[in-house]
Amino acid sequence: MSRSRVNPLARQGTAARIAALYPRSYDGSRARFRQNLDRVQQFWPNAHLESHRISSEEGLTIDWIESTALESCERVLIFTIGEHGIEAYAGSAVLQVFIDEYIHRLQPETTGMLLVHAINPWGMKYRRRVNSQNVDLNRNFLLEGSDLAGAGKCYDPAFNPTYAELNHWLNPPKPVSGWLLSNLSLLLGYLRSILSRGSSQVQATGLLGQYFDPRGLHYGGSDMQEETKVLIDLYRGQIEPYRQILVMDMHTGYGPRYQMSLVNSALEVRDSSWFVRQLQYPLVVKANSQEFYSIQGDMIDFIYSLVDQEYPDKGLYATSFEFGTFGSSLLASYRSMRATVLENQLHWHGASSPGVKAWVRREFEELFFPEEEKWRAKAISDARQAINGILRAEGFFGD
């Protein structure tokens, strides 16, 4: 079998290569992803492209390239992007790096692969984190009967009651006004909340997820979303035939600006320091209140719970790549909160002027898809380091 190692971007300068990796639109990213089928088929002749059209809008699809191990099903690698739509722009760049630089080092005879483009295509196209129903898909993965369901009840409106106490300033029911007034109102609410509850509790409450306000932040939905069902079917289809499962999922927005965090599930039994040594990657955390933040309905947690309940004989490592943007200081946390609140407010209530609308959009996009060349280059560098460490430690390299 011929295994070409030519990187299509190898002859370009570094800056041009980095710029070319990051797509400008959902349509452009999807077209590039689909064109990768021929490249994958160089190594997996049985690779095929599949799509699921999202019912909310014509022309929006979840796309995936699936390839089955050629001889024996020992291990499978699953690579996903765009669960939070706008985060797929950076995720698309890392996915392209993976296709260009790593698939030729895998072992098609014993390794299967599933590459998923834009879990949330509506959010990617319109540059929102949520889907068309305002659901944060990473609060929507709940497995009935597991601890993830909150005492056995999925999508419980009574979950996270503290969020309701903060909702008056997290979800202002009016158009976004000018920079000064909006900033002052949010800052006062933020300061009052952290003085009474502490910054860590306010942040944890806001990020955990909620199921009572369909227009609020981090709304997990009232039922399982279409996109969630598609991914669960894909996961089951990949987990069933293989003994070892590896999942890498791409996210942006939280953590240090120039150091990507590997975020492991709270259900992962091995501690973070073990992964730092094993993967030779400097920043590994668990998605819990001590190391990162807790999430209700998290997709990676769901995979661990699914394997534990239905496939307990399988080996699993699933993790998220979290590329921080604004940073991890208290000021950066406030800026992140402000950008998220104002974007949601803009979506539901509009803005007082086109200039205010443009400012809110710029700030929100900077939170999840920074334009700075240094940030984009460092994100790719960190991704390479993490992918190298993970594939080596998990035994996926064939060389």
* pLDDT tens, residue by residue, 339-379: 999 999 999 999 999 999 999 999 999 999 999 999 999 99
Confidence of residue 205 (pLDDT cuts 50, 70, 90): confident
pTM: predicted TM-score of the whole model, two decimal places: 0.93
- At residue 153, the pLDDT reads 67
- The arithmetic mean of pLDDT across residues 230-234, rounded, is 97
With 60 as the cut, is the pLDDT of residue 10 above it? Answer: no
CB neighbours (10 Å) of residue 312?
7
pLDDT(9) > 80 = no
Mean confidence (pLDDT) of the chain: 91
Calculate the alpha carbon distances from 376 to 98, 161, 225, 373 in Å: 15, 38, 31, 5
- Look up residue 299 and give its two tokens: 């997709």
Query: In this predicted model, which residue has the larger pLDDT, 331 or 23?
Result: 23
203, pLDDT greater than 80: no
DSSP string, 177-201: --HHHHHHHHHHHHHHHHHHH-HHH
Q: Could you read off the pLDDT of 270-279 as tens digits, one per residue?
A: 999 999 999 9
How do residues 288-341 score in pLDDT, each as one tens digit?
888 888 889 999 999 999 999 999 999 999 999 999 999 988 889 889 999 999
pLDDT on residue 284: 97
Q: Are 263 and 290 in contact (CB under 8 A)?
A: no
* Residue 203 vs residue 3, higher pLDDT: 203
- How is 107-158 classified by DSSP, letter by letter? -TTTEEEEEEE-SSHHHHHHT-SS-TTS--GGG----TTSGGGSTT-TT-TT
Q: pLDDT band at 146, cuts 50/70/90?
A: low
Domains of the chain (ranges plus CATH)? 14-150+220-325+370-393 (3.40.630.10), 161-208+331-365 (no CATH)
- Number of Cβ atoms within 10 Å of the Cβ of 126: 16
Nearest to 67 by CA among 102, 3, 35, 111: 111
Inform me whether the pLDDT recorded for 152 exceeds 60.
no
pLDDT, tens only, 75-103: 999 999 999 999 999 999 999 999 999 99
Q: Give the tokens for residue 246.
A: 């590896």
The pLDDT > 90 percentage for the chain reads 75
In this prediction, residue 95 carries a pLDDT of 98
Regarding predicted confidence, which is higher, 193 or 145? 193
Q: What number is the average pLDDT over the span 116-145? A: 94
Check: CB of residue 241 under 8 Å from CB of residue 264: no
pLDDT of residue 147: 52
Residues 79-108: b if buried by 16+ CB within 10 A, e if exposed: bbbbbbbbbbbbbbbbbbbbbbbbbbbbbb
Asked whether the predicted pLDDT for residue 6 surpasses 60, the reply is no
